[in-house]
Amino acid sequence: MLVRDFKVKMKGVYDDGFLNTLPSTCFDPRCGSPTEMSDVLTGLHCNNPRCPSKIAIRIVAMMNKLGVKDFSGKGKRVDDFITKWGVDNPLSIFCYELSDGTLGDNISMDMSTKIFNQLDTKRAFTLAEYVRIANMPFIQTSAFKIFSDYDDLAEAYRDIEEGGVEFIRNKLNIGKGSGVSKEVEDSLIDSEDAIPDISVRALKIYQSLMTYKQDLFDVLPFVKIINTHAEGMVTLKVKCTEEVGKPYRTKAEFYSEVNNLYGNLHVEFVDNATKELDYLVWAGAEDDSVRVSRKVEKVTGWNEQYKKREAEGALKSTDKYIPIVSATQLLKILEGLSSK
Ligand SMILES: [Zn+2]
């Protein structure tokens, strides 16, 4: 309920001093919307889905996920950008062009160019990745479950609106083959996972998809959706360790290069090392001086187990050997696969 209603209702139940400490409006001066919370004083939040503070948090999360430097970190640049353009859709950063001027009133043209150039190499997504990157409330892992079967946003929304909450619920129930393993799911800090009841979760996800539907459609012409379901399309699951190897300084640099190389190949860079991986990328694959990370140990362990079982003739259908390669080695493998 609204905090201001709570204060009226609870007058006499709680003392005035305490009730006065509860904020009736959003802390963000740009917003000023009423606040809400539960009857038991939990979950205090601003009730405006377009609250500038929330938009800023979603943009920062998006930039971190994309590996765009200089625009992450909570702070002035994001707020400058929001203020200059009146941004209420985080995805609209993809609509920005250098001819528009600077990103924000206190952001230089040099810095704007630097940020734009990074962002410009990261416009290629699968439909599910695009939905997830928007960071809509309650939608992270579920983006993969709901959108993985589609390349076309309009088609996906036709099914969602026709099938309603029940459709979402059914999609959430599909565990295996949804594109995300249990382990990856567990690693995500996801507000959606905080809701144990799947029906309630489905409803929240459905509402969020409806609330922000237009945001997704508005920015669609400014990104490139990879047609993963096109004939001959190969999708690989790859996990990168912190050090991928020369000439890449960061993982993000490598990610964008890989997925802009071949039209018939999509590499899904996953968050965790799971047995569903096709490759683990690690600089140490061709450089002895690189530290062995825990992920490398983990995959090496699986591979040793695989070889042991293979030697015993006891391989299970789910067993898989996961090659550990450097970034440049992976590029060579991709080149080979793309010309098949
Ligand atoms: Zn607010």
Q: At what angle do helices 327-338 and 251-258 cross, to 10 degrees?
A: 10
- Of 105, 48, 98, give the one whose Cα is nearest residue 76: 105
For strands 324-325 and 279-281, give the pairing. Answer: parallel
This prediction has a pTM of 0.75
pLDDT at 38: 86
Burial 281-296 (b: 16+ CB within 10 A, else e): bbbbbeeeebeebebb
Q: How far is the CA of 2 from the centre of ligand 1 (A)?
A: 13
Please indicate, yes or no, whether residues 162 and 209 belong to a single structural domain of this protein. yes
In sequence order, what are the residues at sequence separation of 6 or more whose Cβ sits closer than 8 angstroms to the Cβ of residue 113? 98
Judgement on whether residues 35 and 87 belong to the same structural domain of the protein: no
3 CA → ligand 1 middle, Å: 13
CA of 256 from ligand 1 middle (Å) equals 34
The rounded Å distance from CA 316 to ligand 1 centre is: 53
What are the residues whose beta carbons fall under 8 Å from the beta carbon of 137, sequence distance 6 or more? 49, 191, 204, 208
The alpha carbon of 78 and the centre of ligand 1 are apart by a number of angstroms equal to: 16
Residue 195, pLDDT score: 63
CATH of the domain at 81: 1.10.150
Tokens of 134: 């928007």
DSSP string, 288-303: TTSPPPHHHHHHHHHH
Which pair of tokens denotes residue 32? 């000023």
* Boundary of a domain, candidates 225, 254, 277: 225
Asked which of 11-20, 77-86, 194-203 is least confident by mean pLDDT, the reply is 194-203
- Which band of pLDDT confidence, cut at 50, 70 and 90, is reported for residue 72? low
Looking at residue 74, its pLDDT comes to 54
Mean of pLDDT values over 29-37: 93
pLDDT at 228: 83
Interval between CA 21 and ligand 1 midpoint (Å)? 18
Q: How far is Cα of residue 275 from the mean position of the Cα atoms in its chain?
A: 21
Give the environment of ion ligand 1: residues with CB less than 5 A: 26, 28, 31, 33, 46, 48, 51
Q: How far is the CA of 237 from the centre of ligand 1 (A)?
A: 38
Q: Which residues pair with 225 in a beta bridge?
A: 125
Do 40 and 102 belong to one domain? no
Tokens of 216: 């997704």
Give the Å distance between the CA of 81 and the centre of ligand 1.
Answer: 17
Check whether residue 255 and residue 176 sit in a common domain.
Answer: no
pLDDT number for residue 152 = 96
Residues 152 and 80 occupy one common structural domain: no
Ligand 1 midpoint to CA 34 (Å): 8
Asked if residue 86 has pLDDT above 50, the reply is: yes
> How remote is the CA of residue 54 from the centroid of ligand 1, in Å?
7
What number is the average pLDDT over the span 282-311?
Answer: 91
Residue 177 has pLDDT above 90, yes or no: no
User: Which of 52-61, 190-199, 214-223, 272-281 has the lowest average pLDDT?
Assistant: 190-199
Last-in-domain residue among 122, 137, 157: 122
Q: Does one domain contain both 66 and 29?
A: no
How much is the mean pLDDT over the chain?
86
Q: Which helix (H) or strand (E) holds 182?
A: helix 182-187
What's the total number of domains in the chain? 4
CB-based contact 282:290 (threshold 8 Å) = yes
Show the tokens assigned to 311. 């030697």
Find the 193 Cα to ligand 1 centroid distance in Å: 24
Note down the domain range covering 167: 125-225
The residue among 63, 89, 122 that closes a domain is 122
